[in-house]
Structure 1
């Protein structure tokens, strides 16, 4: 079991005085599962991923990660638990003046001594590994570029390349397709899913592209106003449930359109 949540509540503000970002969440994710989290903006998707990654502290309820309560552990033990996961935020915190090779190799910091980390800032420890990871996301030619010279979509994929160099057995990925065109979306999602399968790693991915979630993820969790509205195999998710999930969203917009509605992922060609 990778994650178990029971009646979990997380508030927007520390100290338990803010409005709930997550309310009474019950969720179990087995090792190796691939789960899409969908819902309107502000539903709590990013907060859920941060809570699973042990970077947000719950206000109440039960959280178990790999069978352990992270907030009952010592700081060192909690750090080791975090190192078994890789959180890829929608906007990766990449130092703008850093070279891409250094930013990607930062995924190995949990495995390195302080001295190894400092040396790698001057002379990258394993540029071939960084190149291979970037190449899988179509970014091999950016190995020695500066991060601030990348487009938004390139920065996003650079952050995801870190995942491939980590030792993580759980991938938490927040809106990985938000800055990508259809072709790059296909490449990116295929790479993430195949890497997860190869490692038997758990993949929890928040998405605004509803049709992509319904086409490519075996399990879909619908989140709205911090609560789980449904948690179903994709075959059981109906159009009516999707419409209700996004009802009255800002500007009365429909669920975001699919980028890949008609095109199956060419997994073999991506990796």
Structure 2
């Protein structure tokens, strides 16, 4: 089986024409199918850009990007769309229509599997409300099944967006800052649910986090990102307090970060302690 993701010297530029510093610079990353890893780093490090690039939202300016052994940008638009459907990206702020019912928003995860007629019919009468309820219930939101999206709190909207993952057929979950609006109890439930689902279907789970303590407690592999570059890529046992302190150092010019050898590509799937 080919790796889920293979990046070699990957560079991504936000601005056309190559103006400004790259958002991601010469990234090397190998992620095997079924791995679970956390991406940490200060604001502006490139965490969201990395996940968006893996989901084919950003086209690299140079380097190698392979998804499931295939270069997505060498495919036709239709073939690339089908490849993207093997992933599910959960952004920090889910793009949920405000007047839509939660049940409809969650069932939208099945759009890639439906015909146009099935999708339209589900707008009138939800196709599988029980499945949506069960997905929401795992995130503590079962009572919001028929609520309107604009009546949800920020944290409830986040978990509603994550419930979509459970109804997708994705082989990889790309999750961006899922805990930003959650208290510690809900944070633990959310990470545990994502890890359980990923483990049950051998899906890859890549999760960007600002909560370093959660990353170190729950994920077997941690990637430290700063200024668009990978600073370390290690099993959690090898990530030291000194590395974390240096990674989040306020001085943008600070480069004296203790760097250890890169982690092996395949690591055992872990769970929160």
* Fold match by TM threshold 0.5: yes
1:171 Cα deviation (Å)? 0.3
CA distance in 1, matches of 2:168, 2:251: 37
CA distance in 1, matches of 2:234, 2:248: 17
| Counterpart contact for 1:196–1:202, Cα < 8 Å | yes
- Give unmatched runs, 5+ long, in structure 2: 253-270
1:18 Cα deviation (Å)? 3.8
1:29-85 CA deviation, whole Å, 9 max, x = no partner? 000000100000000000000001111111110000000000000111101100000
1:15 Cα deviation (Å)? 4.1
Residue correspondence of structure 1 range 1-271 to structure 2 within 5 A: 1-248=3-250, 265=272
CA distance in 2, matches of 1:50, 1:147: 24
Would you say how many aligned residue pairs link Structure 1 and Structure 2?
253
1:104-150 CA deviation, whole Å, 9 max, x = no partner? 00000000000100110010000000000000000000000000000
| Counterpart contact for 1:40–1:249, Cα < 8 Å | no
1:16 Cα deviation (Å)? 2.9
1:5 Cα deviation (Å)? 0.2
| Counterpart contact for 1:99–1:147, Cα < 8 Å | yes
| Counterpart contact for 1:13–1:19, Cα < 8 Å | no
CA distance in 1, matches of 2:158, 2:117: 28
CA distance in 1, matches of 2:176, 2:251: 20
1:8 Cα deviation (Å)? 0.4
Structure 2 SS opposite 1:90: coil
| Counterpart contact for 1:70–1:81, Cα < 8 Å | yes
1:249 Cα deviation (Å)? 6.3
CA distance in 1, matches of 2:169, 2:163: 13
Query: TM-score, normalised on structure 1?
Result: 0.91
1:17 Cα deviation (Å)? 2.8
1:12 Cα deviation (Å)? 1.7
Structure 2 SS opposite 1:93: coil
CA distance in 2, matches of 1:238, 1:150: 39
1:145-192 CA deviation, whole Å, 9 max, x = no partner? 000000000000000000000000100000011100011001100000
CA distance in 2, matches of 1:230, 1:195: 27
1:265 Cα deviation (Å)? 4.5
